[in-house]
Amino acid sequence: MDFNDTPQEAEFRAKCRTWLEANAELKTKKTNSAKNMNVGNKSLLEAAAEWQKKKYDAGWAMIHWPKEFGGIGATPIERIIWAQEESKFNVPKGVYEIGLGMAGPVMMEYATDEQKERYLPPMAEGKEIWCQLFSEPSAGSDVAGLRSKAVQDGENWIVNGQKVWTSGAHFSDYGILVVRHDPSLEKHKGLTFFFVDMKSPGIEVKPIKQLTGGSSFNEVYFNDVVIPDSQRLGEIGDGWKVAITTLMNERLAVGDADGVDANEAFELAKKHDKDGEQLIDNNAVRESIADWYCEASGLKNTKLRTMSALSRGDTPGPEASITKIVSANKLQAIGNFGMDSSDMSGMLMDEESDFIKFQMAWMGAAGLRIAGGTDEILKNIIAERVLGLPQEARADKGLAFKDIPSGS
């Protein structure tokens, strides 16, 4: 056992590092703070575009993609090494991840060669931003229960309906979209997958105000939107199959919750006191921090086990599937702890104080426990895919979609 790179990995890491040092600034404690939770203000968008272009020109934008689309055909372990190094620098995040992480792989697998040539390089370069249009007001965890309708009309499809929780829809150029083409078929069989120009007539984007007060997500309305059949990905009726590849990716890969962790709780407990006793000297506090430390350490070492498998060229085990469940719940607990440590004034927010990161963690964690697969859905996935337990009995099995009870 050791924590060292292989010689090839070390060489690659040094290469990443050299380029990053020449083109970006290392994070400091200040740039690392939890401020600026909202994505989508103009300057961040510009900064992100500039950074993406810089990376693309130097071959770092999508290193695991084939050369013809702007990548360098990097191995999985090289991809991790790049991400590790990039994360140490103060660079804009949150604009391109959905498009490159979700839309990219679908286009790579299902688009025609001409389409790939047309769309993938600008996606990698950051010239065109992509979003993902899956969830609907009545289809969250049960996303296959979506109701947006597509009706074929010659060479085109006419789409009507509403999508929701679409990150970045307001600044996206294209989106991947799953809709229902035939409600007389069973739930999963009546779905078809497209990509759509977000500037198409009939598309209306409205921001959702989150409980944090910010708006990172949107509702997207489709009103007689015309999509050419040539933009269909996969066969008619294959929409679920196409969607599930990205969904599984999202549900298992939405990673570590950023923000306060055991160390910050530890530091805070040294600063606050109660009845003349430092919080860190309180037994209950010590036990809680010990447990959070063990969870954080467990996640870190789980990641290292996954990396070890990739480094050997093996397929990693399913261990990484625990990441979001553990980290989002830990974040919420630590956020609570932080505010409790200030007792009666714990609710007071001060932009200038470091303390606000506990409050932001507490608010953000409530969303993280839902985004990209709720705790409950993720546990179902672990139970079914890792432990092999049978599916829940379902009330919608074998029914035509239109006959499924919807409660409305």
Partner 1 sequence: MNLDFSDDQKLLQEEAKKFLTKEDALKINRAVMDSDKTFDQGLWDKIVELGWTGIRIPEEYQGLGLSHLELCVIAEELGRQLAPVPFSSSVYLFTEALIEFGSEQQKNSILPKLVSGDVIGTLAIAETNSAPNKDNILVELKDGKLSGTKIAVPDAEVATHAVVVAKNGDSVSLCVVDLNSNDVEINVQRNIDESRGYYSVSFNDVDAEIIGDEDSGWSNLEKIMDHGAVLFSFEQIGGAQASLDMANTYAKERYAFGRPIGSFQSMKHKLADMYVALTLAKSNSFYGAWALSSNAAELPTAAATARVSATKAFQLCSQENIQTHGGNGFTWEYDCHMFYKRSKVLSLNLGSLPSWREKLIKSLEQANVKL
Q: Tell me which residues touch partner 1 (CB under 8 A).
A: 1-5, 9, 77, 261-263, 266, 280, 283, 286-287, 289-291, 293-302, 304-305, 307-309, 311-312, 319, 322, 325-326, 376, 378-380, 382-384, 386-393
Asked whether 186 and 225 are in contact (CB, 8 A), the reply is: no
Report in angstroms the alpha-carbon separations of 169 from 165, 192, 221: 9, 20, 11
Complex with partner 1: residue 66 or 317, whichever CB lies closer: 317
User: What's the min distance (Å) between Cβ of 1 and partner 1?
Assistant: 4
* One-letter amino acid of 352: E
DSSP 50-108: HHHHHHHHHT-TTTTS-GGGT-----HHHHHHHHHHHTTB----SSSHHIIIIIHHHHH
User: What's the min distance (Å) between Cβ of 189 and partner 1?
Assistant: 22
User: What's the min distance (Å) between Cβ of 266 and partner 1?
Assistant: 7
Complex with partner 1: residue 276 or 388, whichever CB lies closer: 388
Complex with partner 1: residue 226 or 377, whichever CB lies closer: 377
User: What's the min distance (Å) between Cβ of 343 and partner 1?
Assistant: 22
Asked whether 162 and 139 are in contact (CB, 8 A), the reply is: no
| Ranges of H-type helices in 230-322 | 239-253, 262-271, 283-312
User: What's the min distance (Å) between Cβ of 278 and partner 1?
Assistant: 11
Q: Tell me how far apart the alpha carbons of residues 166 and 175 are, in angstroms, rounded to a whole number.
A: 9
Report in angstroms the alpha-carbon separations of 181 from 40, 46, 131, 163: 32, 38, 21, 15
User: What's the min distance (Å) between Cβ of 308 and partner 1?
Assistant: 5
Complex with partner 1: residue 221 or 266, whichever CB lies closer: 266
Complex with partner 1: residue 391 or 408, whichever CB lies closer: 391
Complex with partner 1: residue 148 or 306, whichever CB lies closer: 306
